[in-house]
Structures are given as C-alpha cells and as structure tokens.
Structure 1
C-alpha cells in the first residue's frame, strides 16, 4: 500500500468536513492525517488528506469526492513534486541534569523550545513526518509527557495550483 496525499478545495460551509470524512468511513477507508484551513480565496477551505491505498482505491475516492456538491476541485498532490510539513508540539520531562543533552537534540533537529517549566519543556517541531518520528524516537527515553500533531499539510512545488484541476 502506497501513501497518497490529496488536496481538496471546498466551499467553507458547515458540514462539508463531516461529509468528506463520512464518505471515507462509509467506504471503509482510513484517513492517516487530515489538515484543514482557509484557502487563498475567501469562502474556500483546503482539506489535505493523507491515506494509504492502491491506485484503484485512490481513483474511487476521487470519483466519490467529486460528487460532493461543495467540492470545487481535487488534486492528487503526491503524484507531482511536492512539499509537505507537519507541526508537532512535544512536552518533555526535563530534569536539570538532562537539560543540556535534550537542548542539544532539539538544536540538532532544528526545533524550537517554546516553553520552559521547572521539570518540563515544550518543543515545537516542524518537518516532514519522517523527521518528526525520528525526533520522537530519540527523545522517547527521556520521557514524553504530552504530544500533539497537526497532520500533514502539502502543496505541489512550482507554479501549479492544487485544488483547481480535476482528480
């Protein structure tokens, strides 16, 4: 099964996200990550979904999404050169003795410490999913107290505009 990233440009109306997620659920497809936010034009939102599946599954998803009234356009972003990022906030247990070691790891991964407490720090990690997973793997022995991730957001490189062309 391949990992796919699709971008869906939709009208920013109540219930649109529920209809998209419902379509996936009814068909038995799993969404690995979903990221939603306002798009470049007022009144529109962009939904970026990552999922695993074969090309047949992906084509079926595209046809079903295209039938939804509020869907403006769909692009299979991962078919073309793309950039993708995920934001992750990680609260780590930090004892005074391990603080320099952890800060060194944070610097190596080009992350940012955004909050420091007596025995904890919150680190902001921005990168592709592999980098973020590697960061977690290295810091797991120190004690991860809390973790939150945005899911991937992506767009094609160059001047192409995702979400306008058909799937």
Structure 2
C-alpha cells in the first residue's frame, strides 16, 4: 500500500550534501514528496527532512541506504503522534477592496498572517500541517491565486529519548 513517510537526517554541513542525499533517491527511482534542509544550532551540521512516497519495503531500503552515506550521522523516522511536523506556505491572492474583508476572515480563522498588501493583491503566510495548509488553499481558491510557495515539511521528534549528541 502506497503511503508517505517522513525521515529526519542529521548530516555533516558539507558542500553538496543535499545533492548527494537527493541523488540517492533519484538513482533508485524513489519519489521525493518534499525535502527541506537547514543548518542546526551547531554550524557543522545540517538537518534534512525528506518526505517520501512508497511502501514498507521501499522505506526500509531508503533507510538502509541513507545510513550507509558518509555524511549522514543520524536517521530518524518522524512518526505521527510522537513528532511535530510543520510546513510553511506563502500565497499571493488577487484582492480588490471588496474582497479583502472576506479574505481577512479566512486568514483569521486559520491564524495566518498577512505579510504584504498591495493595491490589488495580498501575500499571506501560514504554518501548519499539510492538511491545514491544503484546507486553507481550498478556501482561498475562490479568489485568484497569483503565486504560491511551499517550504516542504520539516519536523522533530518529541521528547529527549532519541536526541543524538555529537
């Protein structure tokens, strides 16, 4: 059965590490749903979050292959309920004076933030899980969506049990 899994990798912050990690998926024909990366508190390390489509056999193979990579220091599966995963979107909507109040009502319901207002458009920022973001997009799709940018999922496991100390 096809499903999604979220992997969190702690890697050395070296040149082309993101390219090597994504190349692992490309070479084996695995589909990356989203990927995000950023430096940790320690600038020697980067956290990469990868959301992958597949089944249990594919996920097992992916994890084994990632653990073999020289730059990869830790691999975790971020499971629902024991981890926190979020994504950010920015969406630019055509908004004339008559539409603004209705759009602001939707923004308030979702606890989103208006980050820019122009004469005929608004840019809205929203953070949350994928279903929340998808619901927001569906509600504002009655207006003309001019541009949309998504960061991809990022996340951490809850608690102290699986923290990797280096």
Fold match, TM over 0.5?
Answer: yes
1:112 alignment partner in structure 2: 113
Bigger relative contact order, structure 1 or 2 (CA pairs below 8 A, ≥6 apart)? 1
C-alpha separation between the residues in 2 aligned to 1:93 and 1:81? 39
Matches within 5 A, 1:30-41: 30-41=31-42
2:24 alignment partner in structure 1: 23
Query: Could you tell me how far 1:80 is from its partner in structure 2?
Result: 6.1
1:139-167 Cα offsets, whole Å, 9 max, x none, are 011110000010010111122345x39xx
Question: The residue matched to 1:95 in structure 2 has which SS?
Answer: coil
Normalising by structure 1, what TM-score? 0.94
Query: Could you tell me how far 1:95 is from its partner in structure 2?
Result: 1.1
Indicate conservation of the 8 Å contact 1:80/1:156, yes or no. Answer: no
Question: The residue matched to 1:57 in structure 2 has which SS?
Answer: helix
Query: Could you tell me how far 1:67 is from its partner in structure 2?
Result: 1.3
C-alpha separation between the residues in 2 aligned to 1:152 and 1:76? 13
Q: Alpha carbons of 1:95 and 1:79: their partners in 2 closer, same or farther (altered >3 Å)? A: closer
C-alpha separation between the residues in 1 aligned to 2:43 and 2:97? 48
Question: The residue matched to 2:111 in structure 1 has which SS?
Answer: coil
Question: The residue matched to 2:86 in structure 1 has which SS?
Answer: strand
Question: The residue matched to 1:78 in structure 2 has which SS?
Answer: coil
Question: The residue matched to 2:63 in structure 1 has which SS?
Answer: helix
Structure 1, unaligned runs of 5 or more: none
Total equivalences in the alignment: 164
C-alpha separation between the residues in 2 aligned to 1:79 and 1:105? 27
Structure 2, unaligned runs of 5 or more: none
C-alpha separation between the residues in 1 aligned to 2:36 and 2:161? 20
1:60 alignment partner in structure 2: 61
2:8 alignment partner in structure 1: 7
Normalising by structure 2, what TM-score? 0.94
